[in-house]
Amino acid sequence: MKLRPLGDRVIIKAMEKEEKSKGGIIMPDTAKEKPLEGEIIAVGPGKLDDDGKRLPMDVKVGDKVIYSKYSGTEIKFDGEEYLILRESDVQAVVEK
């Protein structure tokens, strides 16, 4: 990845939601909700504490995560859409 997040930020590629409802109705783009689950593509070096030491990140590249609904900044890079957000906006890591 050519993008490198700073501090305690991560870059996420949102996972696409199912395009059909449970009843089999195909949802138009305007009716779809923003996805809340994605894969971490890049991780920053971590936040600095008051003493200037780096705090390690709890997430790593490749983790599938659930994040806050209205968090982060949406960007488009090399034709792909990504979300940059702080590690604190990641709510959970989805384990297999």
Domain boundaries along the sequence of the chain:
9-94
Please give the CATH topology (third level) of the domain spanning 9-94. Answer: 10 Kd Chaperonin, Protein Cpn10; Chain O (2.30.33)
| Residue 45 contacts residue 52 (beta carbons within 8 Å) | no
Comparing 2-11, 16-25, 68-77, the range with the smallest average pLDDT is 16-25
pLDDT tens across 18-69, in order?
565 566 676 665 555 566 899 999 999 999 999 999 999 999 999 999 998 8
Question: 12 in helix, strand or coil?
Answer: strand
| Residue 10 contacts residue 42 (beta carbons within 8 Å) | yes
Q: How many CB atoms lie within 10 A of CB 43?
A: 20
